[in-house]
Amino acid sequence: MGAGDRTAPQADSIPVTALKGVGAKMAERLARLNIITVQDLLFYLPQRYQNRTRLVAIGELMPGMAVSVQGDVQHTEVKFGRRRMLLSSISDGTGTLVLRFFHFGAGQKASLARGTKLRCFGEVRSGVNSLEMIHPEYRLLEQEEPPPSEQHLTPVYRVTEGLHQPALRSFVEQALEYLHNGAVTEWLPAGVRQQFELPPLDEALACVHHPPADAPLDLLAGQCHPAQRRLAFEELLAHHLSLRKLRASMQHHSAPPLKETSRLTGQFLAQLPFSITSAQQRVWNEIRQDLARPFPMQRLVQGDVGSGKTVVAVLAALQAVEAGHQAAIMAPTELLAEQHYINFRHWLTPLGLEVAWLSGQLKASEKKDMLAALSSGQAHLAVGTHALFQEQVEFDRLGLVIIDEQHRFGVHQRLALREKGSCDGGYPHQLIMTATPIPRTLAMTAYADLDVSVIDELPPGRTPVSTVAVPDSRRDEVIERVGAACRKGRQAYWVCTLVEESEALAAQAAEDTAALLSETLPEITVGLVHGRMKPQQRAPVMSAFKAGEIDLLVATTVIEVGVDVPNASLMIIENPERLGLAQLHQLRGRVGRGSRESSCVLMYHGSLSGAAHQRLAVLRESGDGFVIAQKDLELRGPGDVLGTRQTGMLQFRVADLQRDQEMLPDVARAAGLLLEQYPQHVVPLVERWIGERSQYGGV
């Protein structure tokens, strides 16, 4: 069906209840699989395929084969053991096969009478005395029925309780009739399809549900068949277009042009005890140009651990303040927000600026004072956690929002803070920072709504961190090494992790470890921080560690980002096999911040799996965050790397960013073609694949 020719009823508006066999109950079951319309059914692709196009002689069967066989029932009986079961023997003259059923009724037993001809499909297993199939699919045949008429491979779908393969296949068959009658519009013009070598949509959909008998099973299993790739391409294109659309819509909004005078930024740079790197200067130039424009900056700054993103954030905040506006800095954890607050106050108080602190832990009176300072404009900057976007928080003139470690926030949380500065259709500028490098191909899709800057240079004087992995059976040896290092004036971290994502359990593990280390190393001063401590409990410990009064800091992963103690040069990470590569790289980045040679010991439990071995080897061999992020993507997948599983982004039906990343440059080019030459195709294409989720960006 040609693009735009929508005279036939469209599959996206036909409910599944229009199909034979789909009543209210069945519609509920299909809804569990997010199948509401006939179009949803067509885009619900098989997980795998079975070849039922030929019969295999029973005498040729081997355990493990999944095949179709045909034979006459020789004998059927009910046997009683630990479980009641129905056994039926069939033969085709070349051998005998037992069919075993655990769930059956009297009618089924009667239908399998001696002499009945059956055609079955199932997996062959070794039985007690012969080969068998357990709960095969089967049907009764007329005596003279010809061999199988299937001309295509049989699809196997993911199902749910109360919905079985034969029923789902029947519904898909009916949906394919709608497809053949033109119920799905082709939104990719012929020229675009030809340029990127894509088959038509109707052919691709028909092929993935009914691949021809000679279709290469290896390509289908790897989701690499041209029909599957066509659908993945279109889905990636829809996501890319939705983000491009979000970017364009933001540029239609106004934002306060924040002109730089260099008064505050110059004073700040002059008071720093170091010069910023050329990479920081380059990224700062990109940001200052964005901020001066009358539409909202949407810029992501990526920088490896310790590359100096915070200094760039301060420069951006000062430009906002110079222009008569406020800035807000949001961090995902109390500890990181506290560190930012301490740094910003240390740097900006000498410039005569007031920095407000907002977190969920503030006393009512403190919170009231902070809110008043923000709403009156007395406070120039606000630093905090998600407490910044609570309803009672009002800014006087919010011009810039800075979000650190943005992948820890849901998209809606990020947008809620943006709304704080909306006024007369305008929005504040947004600067988004992450120390988790995103592979370039992934960023092209995940952040197509953002301009991306990379701080790809570390400040001079940073020392590489040597990394070793040891089993926890050598714990005593590791403790002795830590003690010896601390006695020589070095400082160390000891990081505790747990299987369960429970702050209570993590805190208990850290407390137990701190007690053990204090007892084993009585001459060493041991400190403790964890996520369940209140800021007023944590702050003095962190200050004492920074001042060198604590030798060994036992912590949970709350110290992953934001902690900067140049004298700390040794880190022990317990159970590193439980963490992702990016998180381990972040933790390791807490050491190597001074001129001393630094080390990280990954102390794993038990024997490592192959994947865990691979991950720890990557850390030992590389200190480059981008190399590590690429490997993390390969091993864990994009949802974990981006932290977006919970946000509604990147929940693909067909595409897989890791598998399909080589398509992304073509996807970006195709998006440009559609926007330029076929803009009327963009909205329906996005709606087909993303639907209401395209609204996450306020499009």
H runs (alpha helix) in 350-499: 364-376, 411-420, 440-446, 475-487
Asked whether the predicted pLDDT for residue 72 surpasses 90, the reply is: yes
Span 304-344, pLDDT tens digits = 777 888 899 999 999 999 999 999 998 877 777 888 888 89
How far apart are the C-alpha atoms of 35 and 174, rounded to whole Å? 14
Rounded mean pLDDT, 61-84: 92
pLDDT-above-70 percentage for the chain: 86
How far apart are the C-alpha atoms of 658 and 437, rounded to whole Å? 15
For residue 417, what pLDDT is reported? 61
Contacts of 467 (CB under 8 A, 6+ apart): 588, 599, 600, 601, 602, 619, 620
What is the domain partition of the chain in residue ranges?
11-49+164-232, 54-149, 263-455, 465-622
Q: Between 575 and 108, where is the model more confident?
A: 108
- Nearest C-alpha neighbor of 586 from the set 417, 456, 465, 432: 465
For residue 562, what pLDDT is reported? 55
Residue 654 carries which side chain, given as an amino acid letter?
A: V
Asked whether the predicted pLDDT for residue 644 surpasses 60, the reply is: no
8 Å CB contact between 668 and 242:
no
Q: Which three-class secondary structure state does DSSP give residue 40?
A: helix
Rounded mean pLDDT, 669-696: 84
- Nearest C-alpha neighbor of 398 from the set 484, 311, 292, 326: 326
3 state SS for 652-664: CCCCCCCCCHHHH
How far apart are the C-alpha atoms of 527 and 541, rounded to whole Å? 6
Query: Which CATH fold topology does 54-149 show?
Result: OB fold (Dihydrolipoamide Acetyltransferase, E2P) (2.40.50)
For residue 647, what pLDDT is reported? 39
For residue 646, what pLDDT is reported? 36
How far apart are the C-alpha atoms of 51 and 48, rounded to whole Å? 10
For residue 563, what pLDDT is reported? 65
Q: Is-above-0.95 flag for pTM?
A: no
Asked whether the predicted pLDDT for residue 185 surpasses 80, the reply is: yes
For residue 507, what pLDDT is reported? 57
Strands (E), 47-140: 48-50, 66-80, 84-91, 96-101, 117-123, 125-126, 131-134, 137-140
Among 56-60, 62-66, 139-143, the minimum mean pLDDT is found in: 139-143
- Nearest C-alpha neighbor of 63 from the set 156, 135, 127: 127
Rounded mean pLDDT, 111-117: 94
456: tokens are 């790809």
Rounded mean pLDDT, 19-31: 95
689: tokens are 């694949």
For residue 413, what pLDDT is reported? 57
Does domain 263-455 fall under CATH 2.60.40.10? My reply is no
Q: Which three-class secondary structure state does DSSP give residue 369?
A: helix
Domains 54-149 and 263-455 share a fold: no
H runs (alpha helix) in 84-225: 106-111, 165-180, 190-195, 201-209, 217-221
Rounded mean pLDDT, 215-228: 89
Strands (E), 102-214: 117-123, 125-126, 131-134, 137-140, 154-156
Span 153-164, pLDDT tens digits = 999 999 999 999
For residue 659, what pLDDT is reported? 83
Asked whether the predicted pLDDT for residue 464 surpasses 80, the reply is: no
Q: What's the pLDDT band for 423 if we cut at 50, 70, 90? A: low
Q: What is the mean pLDDT of the chain?
A: 85
**DSSP letter, residue 156:** E
For residue 459, what pLDDT is reported? 74
355: tokens are 């920095």
For residue 189, what pLDDT is reported? 95
8 Å CB contact between 71 and 92:
yes
For residue 649, what pLDDT is reported? 44
125: tokens are 């297993």
Burial class of residue 694 (count of CB atoms within 10 Å of its CB; 0-12, 13-18, 19+): buried
Task: Please give the CATH number for the structural domain made up of 465-622.
Answer: 3.40.50.300
Task: Say how many C-beta atoms besides its own lie within 10 A of residue 342's C-beta.
Answer: 19
Question: How many Å is the Cα radius of gyration of the chain?
Answer: 31
Q: Between 433 and 449, where is the model more confident?
A: 433
How far apart are the C-alpha atoms of 355 and 199, rounded to whole Å? 58
8 Å CB contact between 211 and 225:
yes
How far apart are the C-alpha atoms of 28 and 9, rounded to whole Å? 23
For residue 201, what pLDDT is reported? 96
Asked whether the predicted pLDDT for residue 436 surpasses 90, the reply is: no
How far apart are the C-alpha atoms of 202 and 682, rounded to whole Å? 19
At 535, which helix (H) or strand (E)?
helix 535-546
pLDDT-above-90 percentage for the chain: 48
- Nearest C-alpha neighbor of 574 from the set 463, 462, 464, 482: 482
8 Å CB contact between 63 and 51:
no
8 Å CB contact between 255 and 429:
yes
For residue 494, what pLDDT is reported? 94
Asked whether the predicted pLDDT for residue 176 surpasses 90, the reply is: yes
Residue 278 carries which side chain, given as an amino acid letter?
A: S
Which residue bears the tokens 């992948």?
A: 407
3-state helix, strand, coil in the chain (%, to 5): 45, 20, 35
8 Å CB contact between 189 and 1:
no
Rounded mean pLDDT, 185-193: 95
Span 600-616, pLDDT tens digits = 999 988 777 777 787 78
491-495/568-574 β-pairing:
parallel
Rounded mean pLDDT, 570-574: 92
117-123/66-80 β-pairing:
antiparallel
3 state SS for 19-40: CCCCCHHHHHHHHHCCCCEHHH
Span 662-673, pLDDT tens digits = 898 899 999 999
- The residues pairing with 455 across neighbouring beta strands, listed in sequence order, are 303
For residue 641, what pLDDT is reported? 45
